[in-house]
């Protein structure tokens, strides 16, 4: 993302262009955070029933009009707005609105939802205040971690890696039970984000944030608070790549599976080769037994040349009796047919899909792998995430013309082309011994059918299902009790909303008390945190410092808490979205009163 480290304006005016499923959810998230937002929709939204079942009137902050018409943007207040979110699922439409918006307001900040990731990167490098975002890029890490049985509630993008955000509940047998928060704080591969003490441990002498219902993490770290049963932590951890060691037995099993695959797919070709060799043997035997002076080698040479059409040693037949000449003519016709079929099968085996299928089936892991059904944008990026973490994977795709097939095979990812709703295809992927299955095609019904089929074959198999509609996802989770049913709409809306608020957002997560943002902010003389002690600022403003950069040097752990936030410091912190807005609002009110 091409974002600058600048403080956000007071009460930014945000316009969401396109209120489809994702756009409407982003609109609601921003409203829940108390942030002024205007929605632009091509058609009136269906009114939602109120508590007394009376239909509600359409919201006043939604503009209805042609999405391609610049007058619609003007009515939405494009000239005064600070941020424009383009959330339509049409790249061409988003680009058209982008150009109109920049002509009407050259300084507006634009968050652009694009399917074409390469185009988005070029736009980020070319246009100032432009951030491109992709739904598949946002949700694929979450799906990947879900396949590894890690329930993820958000993610951080730190040091070129995606750090999953998870909730940890402390139990009596948890390895962190009675551990000091100060010890956990010092680990550079783990970021403590929030701390929620249980009722038993809340009597300990450290401050808490009554507004958020969370314990003051910084004060708890300073007082070396120990974790008790019932405490809850929100953490982000650097994912570790799993090292895979292949044993000799594994290699032997791979070779054996390859041999079985070759014998299975080449059965027809072997039968034709057997017919060809039988034809040659009959011809050689006939010529040797009925022609005096014809050696075995001459008969073999003539028979092979006659059948293949190459010719040679014609004297064997020319000097023979009439009956042998008739036999030769029959052998020419039979041999032409056999050799033609043989050439056709050999050509199809080598140049067709059989050889590729044999190689793919040989590379399918025997056990402990993750099966990804659907090689679309989400599926392919999920495969990249899993292979980057050292996991064994198999992809299933029904479309032979899929644009990601070649890219996946280039990375040595085994891809089986077939319908994943068919039990035989899942059996080829060794679904019974897989570690998890992800149904992530673009069709909700197909994903549900894949999940049901897989569960019927392997009842204990962890299954992750992609369902676009959030309400439908909850219903499926309750009825079928799959391990995880996730909606890309619910997963990506907080990230889009966070990017719209301002500053450099490098992560987010949704908690019981609202949306939390991971923000990189540059400390300047007019910054609300300028020249304040980090410990004091974090406790009073209810944020969690992650790390700081001063002159390209990073500070973490105890050294971070001992800092004073001087001019030029880049502070990376975690904070509720509402509190971030309130921080700047209070700062500007103080300046106005002064």
Of 328, 355, 382, the residue that ends a domain is: 355
Long-range contacts of 241-249 (CB under 8 A, 24+ apart): 241/388, 241/389, 241/390, 242/389, 242/390, 242/391, 243/390, 244/390, 244/392
Higher pLDDT, 37 or 361: 37
- Give 407-437 pLDDT, tens digit per residue: 998 888 888 888 999 999 999 899 999 999 9
Domain at 199, CATH number = 3.30.70
443/418 Cα distance (integer angstroms): 16
* Parallel/antiparallel/unpaired status of strands 161-169 and 154-158: antiparallel
Query: How would you class 342 by CB atoms within 10 Å of its CB: exposed for 0-12, middle for 13-18, buried for 19 or more?
Result: middle
**For residue 6, pLDDT beyond 50:** no
Average pLDDT of the chain to the nearest whole number: 82
pLDDT of residue 171: 93
- Give 562-592 pLDDT, tens digit per residue: 999 999 999 999 988 878 777 766 665 555 5
Pair (67, 28) in one structural domain: yes
Q: Is residue 23, in this structure, part of any structural domain at all?
A: yes
pLDDT band at 593 (very low <50, low <70, confident <90, very high): low
Residues 6+ apart with CB under 8 A from 491: 138, 139, 142
DSSP state letter for 58: P
Pair (89, 8) in one structural domain: yes
Q: Calculate Rg over the CA atoms of the chain.
A: 33
- Give 174-207 pLDDT, tens digit per residue: 999 999 999 999 998 999 999 988 866 544 444 4
Pair (300, 341) in one structural domain: yes
Boundaries of domain holding 223: 157-237
Pair (468, 572) in one structural domain: no
Q: Is residue 414, in this structure, part of any structural domain at all?
A: yes
Pair (233, 274) in one structural domain: no
Pair (348, 375) in one structural domain: no
Pair (282, 380) in one structural domain: no
Domain at 554, CATH number = 3.30.70.1450
Most confident region among 31-35, 153-157, 285-289 by mean pLDDT: 153-157
372/367 Cα distance (integer angstroms): 14
Q: How far lies 470's CA from each of 44, 151, 372, 499, in Å? A: 21, 17, 21, 22
Q: Is residue 428, in this structure, part of any structural domain at all?
A: yes
**For residue 209, pLDDT beyond 60:** no
**End-to-end alpha-carbon separation of the chain, Å?**
37
Number of domains in the chain: 5
pLDDT of residue 2: 41
Long-range contacts of 171-175 (CB under 8 A, 24+ apart): 171/229, 172/229, 174/227
Provide φ and ψ at 483, rounded to 5°.
Answer: -65, -45
* Parallel/antiparallel/unpaired status of strands 544-550 and 553-555: antiparallel
Of 355, 378, 400, the residue that ends a domain is: 355
- Give 474-505 pLDDT, tens digit per residue: 899 889 989 899 999 988 998 898 888 866 78
Q: Is residue 416, in this structure, part of any structural domain at all?
A: yes
Pair (332, 409) in one structural domain: no
Domain at 100, CATH number = 3.40.50.720
Provide φ and ψ at 81, rounded to 5°.
Answer: -75, 155
Q: Is residue 491, in this structure, part of any structural domain at all?
A: no
- Mean local confidence (pLDDT), 461-481: 91
The H or E element containing residue 515 is strand 514-522
Q: Is residue 562, in this structure, part of any structural domain at all?
A: yes
Buried b (16+ CB within 10 A) or exposed e, 39-67: bbbeeeeeeeeeeeeeeeeeeeebbebeb
Q: What is the pTM of this model?
A: 0.74
Pair (329, 391) in one structural domain: no
Pair (3, 129) in one structural domain: yes
Q: Is residue 342, in this structure, part of any structural domain at all?
A: yes
**For residue 267, pLDDT beyond 90:** no
pLDDT of residue 9: 37
Pair (301, 349) in one structural domain: yes
Pair (392, 465) in one structural domain: yes
Q: Is residue 21, in this structure, part of any structural domain at all?
A: yes
pLDDT of residue 1: 41
Of 206, 237, 268, the residue that ends a domain is: 237
**For residue 49, pLDDT beyond 70:** no
Half-sphere exposure of 337 (CA within 13 A, CB side): 7
């Amino acid at each position: 993302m091409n974002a600058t480290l600048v403080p956000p304006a007071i009460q930014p005016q945000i316009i969401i262009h396109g209120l489809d499923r994702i756009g409407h959810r982003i609109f609601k998230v921003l409203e829940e955070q108390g942030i002024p937002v205007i929605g632009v929709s091509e058609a009136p939204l269906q009114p939602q029933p109120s508590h007394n079942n009376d239909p509600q009137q359409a919201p006043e902050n939604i503009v209805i009009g042609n999405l391609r018409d610049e007058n619609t943007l003007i009515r939405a207040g494009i000239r005064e707005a600070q941020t424009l979110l383009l959330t339509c699922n049409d790249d061409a439409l988003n680009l058209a609105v982008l150009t109109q918006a920049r002509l009407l307001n050259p300084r507006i900040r634009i968050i652009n939802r694009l399917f074409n990731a390469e185009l988005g990167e070029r736009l980020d490098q070319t246009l100032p205040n432009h951030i491109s975002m992709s739904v598949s890029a946002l949700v694929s890490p979450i799906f990947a971690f879900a396949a590894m049985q890690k329930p993820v509630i958000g993610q951080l993008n730190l040091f070129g890696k995606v750090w999953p955000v998870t909730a940890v509940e402390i139990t009596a047998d948890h390895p962190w039970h009675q551990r000091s928060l100060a010890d956990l704080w010092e680990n550079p591969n783990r970021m403590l984000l929030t701390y929620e003490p249980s009722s038993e441990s809340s009597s300990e002498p450290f401050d808490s944030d009554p507004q958020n219902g969370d314990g003051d993490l910084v004060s708890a770290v300073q007082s070396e608070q120990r974790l008790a049963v019932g405490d809850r932590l929100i953490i982000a951890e650097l994912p570790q790549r799993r090292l895979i060691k292949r044993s000799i037995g594994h290699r032997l099993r791979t070779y054996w599976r390859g041999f079985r695959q070759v014998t299975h797919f080449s059965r027809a070709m072997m039968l034709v080769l057997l017919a060809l060799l039988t034809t040659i043997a009959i011809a050689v035997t006939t010529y040797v037994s009925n022609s005096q002076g014809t050696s075995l080698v001459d008969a073999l040479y003539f028979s092979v040349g006659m059948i293949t059409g190459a010719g040679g040693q014609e004297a064997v037949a020319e000097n023979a009796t009439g009956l042998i000449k008739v036999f030769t003519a029959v052998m020419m016709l039979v041999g032409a047919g056999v050799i033609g079929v043989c050439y056709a099968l050999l050509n199809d085996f080598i140049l067709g899909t059989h050889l590729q299928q044999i190689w793919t089936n040989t590379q399918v892991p025997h056990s402990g792998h993750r099966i990804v059904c659907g090689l679309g944008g989400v599926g392919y990026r999920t495969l990249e995430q899993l292979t980057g973490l050292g996991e064994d994977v198999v992809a299933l795709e029904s479309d032979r013309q899929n644009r990601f097939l070649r890219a996946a095979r280039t990375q040595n990812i085994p891809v089986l082309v077939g319908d994943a709703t068919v039990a035989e295809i899942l059996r080829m992927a060794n679904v019974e011994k897989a570690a998890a299955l992800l149904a992530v095609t673009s069709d909700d019904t197909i994903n549900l059918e894949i999940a049901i089929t897989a569960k019927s074959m392997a009842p204990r198999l962890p299954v992750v299902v992609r369902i676009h509609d959030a309400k439908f996802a909850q219903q499926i989770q309750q009825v079928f009790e799959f391990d995880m049913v996730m909606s890309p709409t619910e997963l990506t809306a907080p990230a889009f909303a966070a990017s719209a608020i301002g500053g450099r957002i490098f992560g987010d997560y949704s908690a019981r008390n609202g949306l939390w943002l991971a923000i990189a902010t540059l400390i300047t003389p007019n910054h609300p945190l300028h020249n304040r002690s980090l410990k004091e600022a974090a406790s009073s403003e209810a944020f969690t410092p992650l790390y700081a950069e001063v002159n390209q040097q990073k500070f973490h752990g105890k050294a971070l808490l001992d800092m004073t936030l001087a001019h030029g410091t880049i502070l990376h912190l975690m904070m509720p979205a509402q509190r971030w807005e309130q921080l700047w609002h209070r700062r500007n009110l103080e300046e106005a009163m002064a």
